[in-house]
Chains A and B, each alone.
Chain A
């Protein structure tokens, strides 16, 4: 059964770069779409972007200039980097598989909390 697990530093200083990894089990990252989504504490969900590992990416314009997404087929992992972080980037970050036809997200990883603080 497909499983996703996010990991990251937990704490990032303002103005620095946030780097997260999503490890994918039981299915290859190639050949599917994957998304990153985040959720500040007590708030709603924000789509960050989508990646097709052997092809293109699509980002939320609200974050586009700061976001980079990539995939590593040898490790079967996805990566997210977000530059110049501020307190507003404090959130739980999720990775999720995207359905090709209907654009919904399933399954999701458990999420990883990132706090931006000095």
Chain B
């Protein structure tokens, strides 16, 4: 299985800050990498697919980059609604696997 490791596991930031979350794959996943946002009691919401493509309707302050084994999600100009948990997911091979999540809290 391809293991996905996110760092940090949690981060505190303030409104207006820029935050970067890293996701590392245990083997090459090319650009088959997606990012999701999940709020308490809600289903995950797709933010980024194919490593850097912004899902329709997602604000442009979200951006993704990377390929191979290292990927980043950057959230610029943090807004109050951005405080949530973020997951990466590889779609390169089976079984599909997710990172353990990064919790973004208000400082």
Q: Which residues from chain A sit less than 8 Å from chain B, CB to CB?
A: 35, 44-47, 50, 58, 60-62, 94, 96, 99, 102-111
List the A side residues contacting B32 at CB < 8 Å.
Answer: 102-103
Q: Which one of A35, A45, A62, A104 lies within 8 Å of B46 (CB-CB)?
A: A104
B8 within 8 A of A: no
List the A side residues contacting B53 at CB < 8 Å.
Answer: 102
Structural contact, B34 and A102, CB atoms closer than 8 A: yes
Q: Which residues from chain B sit less than 8 Å from chain A, CB to CB?
A: 1, 32, 34, 36, 42-46, 49-50, 53, 55, 87, 89, 91-92, 94-101
Structural contact, A62 and B100, CB atoms closer than 8 A: no
How far is B99's CA from A11's CA once the two chains are assembled, in angstroms? 28
Structural contact, B98 and A44, CB atoms closer than 8 A: yes
Q: Which one of A45, A96, A106 lies within 8 Å of B98 (CB-CB)?
A: A45
How far is B77's CA from A40's CA once the two chains are assembled, in angstroms? 32
A90: min CB distance to chain B, Å: 16
List the B side residues contacting A110 at CB < 8 Å.
Answer: 42-43
Asked if A105 meets B87 with Cβ closer than 8 Å, knowing A44-B99, A94-B43, A111-B43, the reply is no
Asked if A102 meets B94 with Cβ closer than 8 Å, knowing A44-B100, A111-B43, the reply is no
Structural contact, A60 and B49, CB atoms closer than 8 A: no
Structural contact, B95 and A47, CB atoms closer than 8 A: yes
How far is B32's CA from A2's CA once the two chains are assembled, in angstroms? 23
Among A46, A50, A62, A106, the one with the most B-chain Cβ atoms within 10 Å of its Cβ is: A106
Asked if A109 meets B43 with Cβ closer than 8 Å, knowing A44-B101, A45-B87, the reply is yes
How far is B94's CA from A35's CA once the two chains are assembled, in angstroms? 12
Q: List 20 A-B contacts (CB under 8 A).
A: A44-B99, A45-B44, A50-B96, A62-B95, A94-B43, A96-B43, A99-B49, A102-B50, A102-B53, A102-B91, A103-B92, A104-B46, A104-B50, A104-B89, A105-B34, A105-B46, A106-B46, A108-B43, A108-B44, A108-B45
How far is B49's CA from A61's CA once the two chains are assembled, in angstroms? 25
B92: min CB distance to chain A, Å: 8
How far is B49's CA from A47's CA once the two chains are assembled, in angstroms? 17
List the A side residues contacting B87 at CB < 8 Å.
Answer: 44-45
